Amino acid sequence: MNEMSQIKPPGGAATPVLQVTDLKKHFPIHGGFFGGTTGHVYAVDGVSFDIMKGETLALVGESGCGKSTVGKAILRLFPITGGQVVLDGTRIDDMGAGTLRPMRRRMQVVFQDPFSSLNPRMRVRDILAEPIRNFGLARNARDLEERVALLMDKVRLPRDAVGRWPHEFSGGQRQRIGIARALAADPDLIICDEAVSALDVSVKAQIINLLQDLQQELGLALLFISHDLAIVEHMTHRVAVMYLGKIVEVAPKRELFAAPKHPYTEALLSAVPQPTPGVQRERIILKGDVPSPINPPKGCRFHTRCPYAFDRCRQEEPPLRPVEAGHLAACHLHDRPEAENPLAGAKGAKLLAV
Ligand code: SF4
């Protein structure tokens, strides 16, 4: 069984909206006397996942792990080094600009900073009308106006605010405009790249609720890229955890939060506050910094920071494989007898009564 076939969401036989297979993006490093290539940044190094219609997959990990590069590679903001990206059954990673254009409409993005991603010299009406015009979605001027008004309704902003400029809105309202602009193209997939990270806590919750409502109403597939597991707990169906250019664990949200099967996920979760009073996770502080993606460690890439590393981890790279139904992890611990595996069964939960 190849890696791709293992990372399908549980349940559905339908074609996924997005299929990413063994995606690689290696950025060349130029230098030396003649300006040649002196090495590569292995930003994304063999990543595979699927997302179904109406599903949210959260891609999480520390800054620099490659998660935003995955999003940009899917959007074809640069050529990829290897692998495949398939949108609704059609391979798009090798398409020329002309053929790609109609596919671009179907995948949109919401960025972290709504202020810098909205043109300050355009009124909201024009920001929302631009993708509708570009993709030829309106029959006439009246239809265009009606579509813009409906987009304002969808993101719960007053229709008469279309004449205002981006700087006249709060951060949360600007992010609603960013979401409306993404919806204007009538997409199947929206990539939210740290889309709520810059917002205040209460505004974050409002934007997450809005995204969830829109997903239910429109059947959108969402790739939610975030460094913050506490946020994704409230909005995703499945979680994929990335470390140094690779996915190290994928599982339905509930299973992953209840009992992580990779030591890196376990450490990330240990920092997430528990909603139940009197209960918290045993905090795991990882030693050292994330190694450089220019020269990733041999064997398991996490072995330089892993509290459970043993000899095999330094020699052999663990494949991402099923450890329970629908739950994949890349860790040699799962080849050990249960008594010697600190993450076997429900042990990964490590909840403490305080
Ligand atoms: Fe830790 Fe070894 Fe598992 Fe890597 S393979 S996460 S180093 S125990």
Spatial separation of the C-alpha atoms in residues 164 and 319, rounded to whole Å: 52
Burial 198-212 (b: 16+ CB within 10 A, else e): ebeeebbebbbebbe
Single-letter residue type at 32 = G
Nearest C-alpha to atom 7 of ligand 1 is from which residue? 303
By three-state DSSP, how is residue 72 classified? Answer: helix
Which ligand 1 atom minimizes the distance to the CA of 248?
6
Q: Could you give the count of Cα atoms lying within 13 Å of 166 in the half-sphere of its Cβ? A: 20
The set of residues, in sequence order, having a beta carbon less than 8 Å from that of 139 and lying 6+ positions away, is none
Question: Residue with the nearest Cα to atom 6 of ligand 1?
Answer: 331
pLDDT in single tens digits along all 354 residues of the chain: 344 444 555 555 588 999 999 999 999 998 877 778 889 999 999 999 999 999 999 999 999 999 999 999 999 999 999 999 999 999 999 999 899 999 999 999 999 877 788 999 999 999 999 999 999 999 999 999 999 999 999 999 999 999 999 999 999 999 999 999 999 999 999 999 999 988 998 999 999 999 999 999 999 999 999 998 888 988 899 999 999 999 999 999 999 999 999 999 999 999 887 766 666 677 888 888 889 999 999 999 999 999 999 999 999 999 999 999 999 999 999 999 999 999 987 655 555 544
- Residue 248 CA to ligand 1 centre (angstroms): 10
The rounded distance, in Å, linking the Cα atoms of 287 and 15 is 42
Residue 307 alpha carbon, nearest atom of ligand 1: 1
Joined together, the tokens standing for residue 244 give 């140094």
| Whether pTM exceeds 0.85 | yes
Distance linking the first and last C-alpha atoms of the chain: 44
Q: What pLDDT score was predicted for residue 22?
A: 98
**What does the block give as tokens for 168?**
């006249």
Which amino acids bring their CB within 6 angstroms of ligand 1? 262-263, 300, 302-303, 306, 308-309, 313, 318, 331-333
- Map tokens 């992953």 to a residue: 256
Residue that has been written with the tokens 């810098």 in this structure: 116
Residue 9, pLDDT score: 56
How much distance in Å is there from the Cα of 141 to the middle of ligand 1? Answer: 59
